[in-house]
Structure 1
Amino acid sequence: MADIMKNVEEIRNRVILGEYDVKNVHTTDYPGNYPGYDDTWDLQKFQKNFKIDIVSMDESSMEFDMVGIDAAIANSFRRILLAEVPTMAIEKVFIYNNTSIVQDEVLSHRLGLIPIRADPRLFEYRNTVSEEESAEEEGSEIDTIQLQLKIKCSRNPRAVKDSSDPQELYLNHMVYSKDIKWVPIGNQADVFSDTVIGPVHDDILIAQLRPGQELDIIMHCVKGVGKDHAKFSPVATASYRLLPEISLMEHVEGEKAERLKQCFSQGVIGLEDVNGKKVAKVVNSRLDTCSREVLRHDDLKNVVKLARVRDHFIFTVESTGILPPHVLVTEAIKILMTKCRRFLNELDSTDME
């Protein structure tokens, strides 16, 4: 009985990577999947096992471990980060003059995809109105950011006569996101006096101009979410993977150890000197990409056991720069909590009926 319980526990906790298949793949740990095994969900056990460890973090990216949860919960965080954490993005583009070779529609699309540095938590969602009314509505200081792009290309009077370099011949011939300027609405200049509102990156190329060509554009940024349009998504990528686990089943040394090391990503397998011989050891399974290259070698495929820890997720969040990654993760957690409360309230109201 003890052996059966041990096998079931291994099945629940590990995904085994075989030569031709992947074993113990289950999309959920919902109770009742394993007959004769007590796998009822327990809140105290969950609180004891669940943890979040931040591995690395800077202004643009973050990597953290989320341990002790079901894959469905982990995936909900990923989906919320991609599609439900709000941001500010260019929604309306009013083109008063565009004599460049870029069509109005293409230019509007390019402008809409430029990440705008503005904290969406300080703004309200814009009221939903008809398309005709929306085109005429200017917006207010609580729901709209106004930006302006006004630039004209001209010849450089100081250019060398025989020069053919556009950098020398023309002024303002390259239009970058740094040329977009914030135009405060109402009291925004006072409210955001300590904040720099504008494009996250200054070097995004928008268009190229030649002498006489110009752009005169007003843009309105509003609050939205990624499920409405990708331009509102606050992350460049949000992904997760299961923690790899590599176990050596027997002693490996010499030339065989060298080849074993080459089968894995750099830093996964190391060699240590034991009595003058190089012996293989697992240094850091986390770095493995699970390519299963070792299983191609007949004399090596039985010396290692490849697995992944089912409830240990390695998350990677890369922000577009609108908000720091740790803020995005915090906001995603708040949104999931709100969804849970709404669901519980619906259940309570149903019971009352």
Structure 2
Amino acid sequence: MVEVKIIEEDEKSIKVQFEDLPLSIANAIRRFTINEVPTMAIEEVLIIENTSAMPNEVLAHRISLVPFISDIDRYVAPEECDCGSKLGCEKCVVRYVVRAEALDEPVTVYSGDIIPEDPTTSVKPVSSKIPIVKLAPRQRIEIELYVRVGKGRKNAKWQAAISSLYEKDGEPNKRILFIESIGF
């Protein structure tokens, strides 16, 4: 008979021990946490101005990997939304802007500089301290961001968790699954 025991649990991680659970089932649970749990991430980046040394495609890639926390139940995936708009609506997209300029001193732009169009939104970067780009004096950026619901199987930026599965030393019938939330 399969036994499940929670070894550790806190706000953003859990460690579970399975006894007599086939490896294939344990691995399926691990894959599910990575690929099938919906989360929100930046799907589209529109660079309006970028005079920094960082190329547009690198800047877009960096900023799109910033993890977000959200009240996921308030939003739907774009393919499930009935709005019919390519730009989306308040049910399927949250819009942000990043405007930064270095005047006389270099400036580092952080995830905390990602400003929502709607200041009441619950969707926000996990941390305000993730560096995005450094601007030299007289450089500036202006970027529009579109955050949408997705799943890790589509792109790693939507992975809700990282997880690992391993056997307990000397006890091949016991497996430990550790899951840590990327957002919290």
TM-score, normalisation: structure 1: 0.48
Deviation, 1:204, is 1.1
Which of 72, 76, 101 is 1:124 aligned to?
A: 76
Structure 1 SS opposite 2:154: coil
- The 1-side partners of 2:18 and 2:71 are apart by 26
Unaligned runs of 5+ in 2: none
The answer as to 2:181 corresponding to 1:314 is: no
Count residues in correspondence: 181
Q: 1:115 and 1:59 mapped to 2: Cα distance?
A: 17
1:76 is aligned to: 28
Counterpart secondary structure, 1:127:
helix
1:220 corresponds to: 146
**Counterpart AA for 1:101:** A
What is residue 90 of structure 2 aligned with on the other side? 141
Higher helix share: 1
Q: Once superposed, which parts of structure 1, at least 4 consecutive aligned residues long, lie more than 4 Å away?
A: none
Are 1:66 and 2:18 counterparts? yes
Check the 8 A contact 1:149/1:216 in 2, yes or no: yes
Alignment correspondent of 2:112:
178
AA in 2 matched with 1:318: E
Q: Whose radius of gyration is greater, 1 or 2?
A: 1
The structure 1 residue matched to 2:166, chosen from 221, 231, 241, is: 241
Task: Report if the CA contact (8 A) 1:88-1:119 is conserved.
Answer: no
For residue 309 of structure 1, report the CA deviation from its aligned partner: 2.8
Gaps of 5+ in 1: 1-48, 129-133, 156-169, 246-307, 324-353
Structure with bigger strand share is 2
Q: Distance in 2 between matches of 1:82 and 1:318?
A: 10
The structural deviation recorded for 1:244 is 2.1
The answer to whether the 8 Å contact 1:113/1:231 transfers is yes
Shift of residue 70 of structure 1?
1.4
| Cα root mean square deviation, aligned | 2.0
- Pick the aligned partner of 2:132 from 206, 215, 219: 206
- Name the structure, 1 or 2, with higher relative contact order (CA <8 Å, separation 6+): 2
